[in-house]
Chains A and B, each alone.
Chain A
Amino acid sequence: MKNKQTAKMSKFLIISVLSVCAGILAWWIVTDVLELFRSNVLPSPVKVMQTFMKKWVETKPDGATLLQHLFASLKVALGGYLIGAAIGIPLGIFMAWNDKIDMLVRPVFDLVRTIPGVAWTSVMVTLVGIGYMSKALVIFISAMVAMVINSYSGIKQTKTVHLWVGQTFGASNWELLTKVAIPSALPMIFTGLDVALGSAWTTLVAAELLASTRGLGFMIQQARGIFRLDIVIVGMVVIAITGAILSTIIRKIGNKIVKGGRLG
């Protein structure tokens, strides 16, 4: 069974790699070979690659190297994300476990969750000014919302019979929560961590487009203003790859911690 799965996985991998290569090839043909597009409309993959290499050392035209932008973005995204998780996971768990907390928090939460993360940007900029804090707070809100929703439904989905096993053995309310409900919600909590990471990362780039002095979103914004589409594409690719790496890390940690699969 394991072997079949790995075989399927590697087949999947081969096809994915092939389709990406085909896409790049088509891109190269319409630009460098057929010259259908001018380079400030659609730069060729070769040009983008050159820009990518250069941008490691060059601070032109946006004032920082690629790595500096990346670190600025990561600092904001991970800061907001980690605090969002640290508050969102327990909040979701306790809202699901305790009706009084649910009643108290839910009205506010239901209002907040309907507002798209980026919409907070102007509020935050007005409150704390352009800088690390305003962006981190925007990320924090969007990550927290995803964490609360997933932890909440994870706890709510605990099977009644599992709680009953604990109860008939004489478990206290706290033991029921920590030994039954939370372990049973762990897969959902990790789904939440993954979803929250995605929304943190996308919200970040959007927030940087509006209010920033450094970061991948800022770099893209600046390059767009002067029609450097090659830098825009480099920014997009770096955002995509970093997002994929972070998501893989979260899933790897999840697979380590979540035991026994999802079946009962």
Chain B
Amino acid sequence: MEKKEAKVVVNHLTKKFGDLLVLDDLNFEVQEGEFLCIVGPTGCGKTTFLNSLTRLYEPTAGDILVNGIPVNPKTQNISYIFQEYSSFPWLTVEQNVRFGLEIKKTPKAEADANVEEMLDIVGLTKFRNYYPSQLSISMLQRVAIARAFATKPELLLMDEPYGQLDIDLRFKLEDELIKLWKKTGTTVLFITHNIEEAVYLSEKIMVLTNKPTSVKTVLDNNLPRPRDVTSPEFVELRNKVTDLIKWW
């Protein structure tokens, strides 16, 4: 059997803020095209982990490799959906979605097509000329999602992106995410505190410990898609993850 190439390799990743040890020697790999969900207690350092992975924070120790070389957002096509609202208030919805494409100097025709596609998927085509101050919270989050997808990233990082959305929209965007992931073959790291969401989306679930944080365990999730949240297998895996979390 052919082994998939490791997309992300994390070696001995340690992050301290002064004396506060947040990430304590994290080690793991993510395979090309994999969908990894990361769950862990509040304040354990999930955001710190993604910020270190994108070099927004300098790790205290350890390496992070993407495609076998130290991660570098300037040369590697990464998108990061932040936990807090991050759409630019001075740009319209459409200009926000186009932002990453402009930074990456994507040719106009391709950029136009990507923007249209993403506006359509998140249902904001009619609101393309609105400014963020005119949008609801859930629409703002859709802008951030569309902006992240528009660049067709090879590595997509999402930090509790659907936490603030109402349940219908969450289900819809979860399915859209799976569609996009299948279509583009993107590697996804998805942080959530919602265990059902993790079981619904992931191929693997990484459970983190309390601070100082290390990897508690990584579970495989081979449930067939489309997944049925009421099936016995689904419930079993959900309960298993819940139990693991109870132990911290």
Residues of A within 8 A of B87 (CB): 264
Contact of A184 among B51, B90, B151 (CB under 8 A): B90
* Chain B at the A interface: SS class: loop
Residues of B within 8 A of A183 (CB): 88, 90-91
Q: Which of A161, A175, A262 has the most CB of B within 10 A?
A: A161
A166 at the interface (CB under 8 A from B): yes
B103 engages A179 (CB within 8 Å): yes
Q: Which of A161, A180, A260 has the most CB of B within 10 A?
A: A260
B131 engages A261 (CB within 8 Å): yes
Residues of A within 8 A of B85 (CB): 161, 264
Nearest CB of B to A229, in Å:
49
Residues of B within 8 A of A167 (CB): 54-56, 73
Residues of B within 8 A of A161 (CB): 82, 84-86
Nearest CB of B to A34, in Å:
54
Which chain B residue lies CB-closest to A264?
A: B89
Which chain A residue lies CB-closest to B96?
A: A165
B88 engages A263 (CB within 8 Å): no
B132 engages A169 (CB within 8 Å): no
Nearest CB of B to A189, in Å:
12
B78 engages A168 (CB within 8 Å): yes
A259 at the interface (CB under 8 A from B): yes
Asked whether A165 and B73 contact (CB < 8 A) given A259-B131, A260-B131, A261-B131, the answer is no
> In the bound complex, how far is the Cα of B133 from the Cα of A262, in angstroms?
8
B99 at the interface (CB under 8 A from A): yes
Nearest CB of B to A75, in Å:
34
Asked whether A169 and B103 contact (CB < 8 A) given A164-B82, A184-B88, A261-B89, the answer is yes
Which chain A residue lies CB-closest to B87?
A: A264
Q: Mark B164-186, 1 if CB is under 8 A from A, else 0.
A: 00000000000000000000000
Asked whether A169 and B73 contact (CB < 8 A) given A162-B88, A180-B88, A260-B91, the answer is yes
Residues of A within 8 A of B99 (CB): 165-166, 169, 179
A133 at the interface (CB under 8 A from B): no
Which chain B residue lies CB-closest to A160?
A: B56
Q: Mark B94-109, 1 if CB is under 8 A from A, else 0.
A: 0000011011100000
Which chain A residue lies CB-closest to B51?
A: A164
> In the bound complex, how far is the Cα of B76 from the Cα of A184, in angstroms?
26
> In the bound complex, how far is the Cα of B87 from the Cα of A262, in angstroms?
13
A260 engages B132 (CB within 8 Å): yes
> In the bound complex, how far is the Cα of B105 from the Cα of A179, in angstroms?
13
Residues of B within 8 A of A171 (CB): 103
Nearest CB of B to A187, in Å:
9
Which chain B residue lies CB-closest to A159?
A: B86
> In the bound complex, how far is the Cα of B84 from the Cα of A231, in angstroms?
59
Residues of A228-261 contacting chain B, CB below 8 A: 258-261
B100 engages A164 (CB within 8 Å): no
Q: Mark A169-195, 1 if CB is under 8 A from B, else 0.
A: 111100100011001101000000000
Contact of A164 among B80, B90, B133, B147 (CB under 8 A): B80
Residues of B120-174 contacting chain A, CB below 8 A: 131-133, 147, 151
B187 at the interface (CB under 8 A from A): no
Residues of B within 8 A of A166 (CB): 99, 103
Residues of A within 8 A of B151 (CB): 169
B75 at the interface (CB under 8 A from A): yes
Nearest CB of A to B204, in Å:
23
Q: Which of A169, A179, A180 has the most CB of B within 10 A?
A: A169
> In the bound complex, how far is the Cα of B88 from the Cα of A263, in angstroms?
10
Nearest CB of B to A182, in Å:
10
Nearest CB of B to A98, in Å:
20
Which chain A residue lies CB-closest to B82?
A: A161
Residues of B within 8 A of A180 (CB): 88
Residues of B within 8 A of A261 (CB): 89, 131, 133
Residues of A within 8 A of B78 (CB): 168-170
B74 at the interface (CB under 8 A from A): yes
Give me 25 A-to-B residue pairs in the complex whose CB atoms sit less than 8 angstroms apart, sorted by A's number.
A164-B51, A164-B54, A164-B56, A164-B80, A164-B82, A165-B80, A166-B103, A168-B56, A168-B79, A169-B73, A170-B74, A170-B103, A170-B104, A172-B74, A179-B102, A179-B103, A183-B90, A259-B91, A260-B90, A260-B92, A261-B131, A262-B133, A263-B132, A264-B87, A264-B132
Name 9 extra pairs, CB < 8 A, besides A161-B84, A164-B82.
Answer: A166-B99, A167-B55, A169-B99, A169-B103, A171-B103, A184-B88, A184-B89, A186-B90, A263-B132
